[in-house]
Structure 1
Amino acid sequence: MKRFNFILLLVILVFLSVGITAFALSFGKETHPVVIGGNGDREEFQKLYKAYDILKKGYYEDLDESKVINGAINGMVQSLNDPYSAYMDEEAAKQFHHSVSSSFEGIGAEIQEKDGHIVIVSPLKGSPAEKAGLKPKDVVLMVDGKSIQGMSSTEAVMLIRGEKGTKVELTIQRPGVEGTIKIPIIRDEIPVETVHGEMIGDGIAKVQITTFSTNSSKELADKLNELQKKGMKGLVLDLRQNPGGLLDQAVAISSMFVPEGKILFKVEDRNGNIKEYKSEHKGNADFPLVVLIDSGSASASEILAGAVKESADVPLVGQKSFGKGTVQTAQDFPDGSNVKFTTAKWLTPKGNWIHKKGIEPDYKVDLPDYYNLPYLDPKLDLKQGTSSNEVKTAQQMLSALGYNPGRTDGFYDDQTVEQVKKFQAANNLPQSGVFTGKTTEKVIEKLQEKIMKDDPQLAKAVEVLKKEMK
């Protein structure tokens, strides 16, 4: 319902199956050729070679050698117990490389593997995933009725991704909601357009960055120039639901807002060596700024948020960020497969490691409960006398829109019927009193409009910005 490494934009989930999976929000993608094979005399590999020989000689069927070798590499990486490290076969690696510079077909959400579960990090703005109602922290239990328990993010992405116009059904568990929720999603083409902006009054502009992709810094510079010509005097930079992306883009964009020479972030390797990244202050973004963050702001978004907060005294508004404080690199094998792995920690300018902790906003603003209501399938027939979690959701939606069903416990009584009829009459729909089809679609549409209009986090950001502009 609302807008809302490895993490691939699931394009699918879409993103970099970013997330999707796994773009897991890595930032920075460096690829180097790797020579497969090596010195067979290395003692530490003798057990591995022996296991392979035993299976090849004694297994009751012929081995698929490629599959066995890929499985061994995948197991090696999974043993790191790091959701941001993963092995990709040729097809998955191909999707990964395309994910930051092209368009995709999928649902448009970012996922990661966490404690054996596939978790939504963030749906992309305007994506099928967002429109269907996927939310950060939703746990994906099944894809088209198939359990994905124990799957890697890469494996999950391959199930979720698909051609434009095809349907996929995710069964999710949402924190704080009883039972499971089935969410049907029609896949679509997901363009990687990462910057959206507009004037919102009183000389204030709002710009949202949805991911840090190949051209994000250029897109942002162009948008800021456009808005300045329209009279922009202050900016709300919206990083909510931004799962991150490329490190070089985080550096370039952070440099627009942080004074030259100030630290943007630090990278610490496993030996404790620290490298500082400093602002080159590119661009002319010298105007009051407030930044919006939430639990879907991860990785490169957190680098930007931490940089402006600690090196430019820019206030943050919203909710605590996701908490991804590691850096990944990707290396290709000659056959086109790929391994992505964590190489270092990144720290804020003041040396804070925000991994699994997130960044706290200066002004915490929660969203109304109706922002997190689950999706309702228009094919469901909710009518008088029925009792279910779906009825409860329908009643909560009606209440959020100003209708009074009298109860929100999930029992469809006379008053619920009357309020549904009242809504139907107000929206030129047949007054059946049944919550289904066009009625469900219109309720969801109206709720989305309300969410877009009534944004307490944005309202607070504007309030803070106006004080900064004085």
Structure 2
Amino acid sequence: MLLRGRTVLGLMAGTAVVACAATVGVLSWTNETPLWSAARTQHVQTDDSPASRPGHGLWDERQWDKLDKALALIGSKALQTPDGDKLLDGAIKGIVGALSDPYSDYIPSKEADKYTDKLRGTFSGIGAKLEPDGDLFVVVDLMKDSPAERAGLRLKDVLLSVNGQSLSGLSLEEATAKVRGPKGTKAKLVVRRPGTEAPLHLELVREVLDYKTVGSELGADGVGRLWISSFTFDTGERVAQELEKLEAGGMKALVLDVRHNPGGVLASVLDVASQFVPGGRTIVVYASADGVQQPEKATGEPERGKPYPVVVLIDHETASAAEILAGALKMTIGATLVGETTYGKGTVQISYEDLGDGSLVKLTVSKWLLPDGTSIDRRGVRPDAEVVQPDYFAAVRLTRGQVLKQDQIGDEVRNLQLLLAGAGCPADRQDGYFSEGTREAVAKFQRLSGLPETGAVDDATAERLEAASFAAKQDEAHDKQWQEAHALALQAAGVGGKAR
């Protein structure tokens, strides 16, 4: 979950001030142009107490001297002419990175706008958000019906390269720039997926994307469906608009879908939860490093919630703020959770803009707990009704420029077998061996699709097969989790549904 703030408190204050004071003012001890413009001594108070020093005592004189000497060496000995701004950005990024927290980061001013693109409007790309993990980049968000989602990219996938160019060691801005690009251009990705040995090869076509985070529909039976793909600044307002339409249509029960939702802005999830939870009831509890716990309560009228039952759809990719919403609705209004255990991200980040040049420092500042005080970090929120999707929901695009044929083995063949199942032409196995049964399934699909009946998979067959499998995943009749949630919503509303 992400907040934005302008006041640095506690550890963040120390870290942010160190980031500034430790790197803003060291002179190169040579006759050359100083690397940075001010001397560190200008920022040190006359009082020697730790609280009066830059960094609130995180560094002592020995550590400051070490930094001075390192910069002096760079300024006087480095073959390449040092760029002060680059050194400054690198120093701050290194300090934040030394926290060993995957969710804390420094975003230079030139990257800050791109970092918040999805919160502000449209952009051209593939619809996947990345976050750094060491020298690599992990997918942490996927836009609904985007090229990335249609290609089968998944949360936690690691992007190794784009169009043959490695992402290892790049900044977030550089990696994002390689993934994004003009509409209609191709992005050939090499992806490492947890639990899969061989890298995946995906080819996507970039599109202009409107980051729509909320949508809804109302069935003829009175069951409404409201999906939230992530929590942006206006998600609360969008949810209110969608609920108003559903309720005006006579909605009898609601299925709230937060599958594949990686979280987002804290204020938005509180706004959304307050539309369901009676005023005064606890939505989430924040636990700071010193053990102090601060509850956040629903706003609005006490004891006034919704008059209809709520079922919440969750999965392994439901994370952070989305987990807060699911847990809060379960514990405060008795919502039923359907699907799979959630991701388990139980920490809070704040994005600070205190460095004066538009750059951001995003830091983990606290843990969050469910209303009863339970931590879900690394454990997740468990569903009341566990439902696993068909295997073919995990299928991705096939690598282009190759032909898959009988007697081949490997992850590409297993992915082919999953796609065949999704397209309605299942093979005799799904273990990655291209058997005679797999060849027959491919030939059947080609025959039904009007393609040459070769039994081998070339680019034309792969493209048609992926489209058919993706369409099957979009069909609610094949979505086991939705079917279960829908039946339970009907039952809770007293209009039918299966007995449990």
Report the TM-score when normalising by structure 2: 0.82
CA offsets 1:67-90 (integer angstroms, 9 cap, x no match): 112111111000001111111112
Q: Which residue is equivalent to 2:365? A: 343
Aligned to 2:127, which of 82, 86, 108?
A: 108
The one-letter code sitting in structure 1 at the alignment partner of 2:485 is A
How far 1:193 moved relative to its partner? 1.1
- Please state whether the residue corresponding to 1:342 is helix, strand or coil: strand
Q: Is the 8 A contact 1:136 1:295 kept in 2?
A: no
What is the CA–CA distance in structure 1 between the aligned matches of 2:473 and 2:382, rounded to whole Å? 23
Q: Is the 8 A contact 1:121 1:137 kept in 2?
A: yes
Deviates more, 1:102-111 or 1:392-401: 392-401
Q: Which residue is equivalent to 1:299? A: 320
What does 1:57-456 correspond to in 2, within 5 Å?
57-114=76-133, 117-149=136-168, 153=172, 156-281=175-300, 285-332=306-353, 333-384=355-406, 386-412=408-434, 415-453=437-475, 454-456=478-480
Q: Is the 8 A contact 1:86 1:154 kept in 2?
A: no
Q: Is the 8 A contact 1:143 1:170 kept in 2?
A: yes
- Please state whether the residue corresponding to 2:4 is helix, strand or coil: coil
CA offsets 1:108-144 (integer angstroms, 9 cap, x no match): 1233344664332332211111011101232223333
Change (3 A) 1:395 1:325: closer
Change (3 A) 1:353 1:417: closer
Change (3 A) 1:224 1:182: same
How far 1:168 moved relative to its partner? 2.1
Aligned to 2:482, which of 458, 462, 468?
A: 458
What is the CA–CA distance in structure 1 between the aligned matches of 2:83 and 2:133, rounded to whole Å? 30
- Please state whether the residue corresponding to 2:275 is helix, strand or coil: helix
Change (3 A) 1:137 1:312: same
- Please state whether the residue corresponding to 1:380 is helix, strand or coil: coil
Q: Is the 8 A contact 2:316 2:343 kept in 1?
A: yes
The one-letter code sitting in structure 2 at the alignment partner of 1:389 is D
CA offsets 1:209-241 (integer angstroms, 9 cap, x no match): 011112211111111121223221100000001
What is the CA–CA distance in structure 2 between the aligned matches of 1:153 and 1:321, rounded to whole Å? 26
Q: Aligned pair count? A: 445
Q: Which residue is equivalent to 2:11? A: none
The one-letter code sitting in structure 2 at the alignment partner of 1:424 is Q
How far 1:368 moved relative to its partner? 1.6
Please tell me whether residue 468 in structure 1 is matched to residue 492 in structure 2.
yes
How far 1:412 moved relative to its partner? 4.4
How far 1:253 moved relative to its partner? 0.2
How far 1:463 moved relative to its partner? 2.1
Q: Which residue is equivalent to 2:36? A: none
Change (3 A) 1:32 1:187: farther
| Alignment gaps of 5+ in structure 2 | 9-15, 25-39, 45-52, 54-60, 495-500
The one-letter code sitting in structure 2 at the alignment partner of 1:30 is G
Q: Is the 8 A contact 2:226 2:255 kept in 1?
A: yes
CA offsets 1:339-381 (integer angstroms, 9 cap, x no match): 1111222211111222222111111111121111232135432
Q: Is the 8 A contact 1:297 1:321 kept in 2?
A: yes
The one-letter code sitting in structure 2 at the alignment partner of 1:370 is Y
The one-letter code sitting in structure 1 at the alignment partner of 2:218 is M
- Please state whether the residue corresponding to 1:336 is helix, strand or coil: coil
Change (3 A) 1:468 1:258: same
The one-letter code sitting in structure 2 at the alignment partner of 1:192 is Y
Q: Which residue is equivalent to 2:2? A: 27
The one-letter code sitting in structure 1 at the alignment partner of 2:344 is G
Q: Is the 8 A contact 2:188 2:203 kept in 1?
A: yes
- Please state whether the residue corresponding to 1:170 is helix, strand or coil: strand
Q: Is the 8 A contact 1:92 1:158 kept in 2?
A: no
Change (3 A) 1:364 1:113: farther
How far 1:452 moved relative to its partner? 2.2
Q: Is the 8 A contact 1:383 1:412 kept in 2?
A: yes
- Where relative contact order (Cα < 8 A, 6+ residues apart) is larger, the structure is 1
Deviates more, 1:142-151 or 1:163-172: 142-151
Q: Is the 8 A contact 1:31 1:329 kept in 2?
A: no
What is the CA–CA distance in structure 1 between the aligned matches of 2:489 and 2:420, rounded to whole Å? 34
Report the TM-score when normalising by structure 1: 0.87
Q: Is the 8 A contact 2:2 2:351 kept in 1?
A: no
How far 1:158 moved relative to its partner? 4.0
What is the CA–CA distance in structure 2 between the aligned matches of 1:115 and 1:88, rounded to whole Å? 15
How far 1:413 moved relative to its partner? 5.4
The one-letter code sitting in structure 2 at the alignment partner of 1:177 is T
Q: Is the 8 A contact 2:422 2:473 kept in 1?
A: no
- Please state whether the residue corresponding to 1:28 is helix, strand or coil: strand
Change (3 A) 1:351 1:54: same
Q: Is the 8 A contact 1:257 1:281 kept in 2?
A: no
Deviates more, 1:58-67 or 1:252-261: 58-67
Deviates more, 1:294-303 or 1:58-67: 58-67
How far 1:295 moved relative to its partner? 1.4
How far 1:387 moved relative to its partner? 4.7
Deviates more, 1:134-143 or 1:69-78: 134-143
Deviates more, 1:76-85 or 1:360-369: 360-369
How far 1:40 moved relative to its partner? 4.4
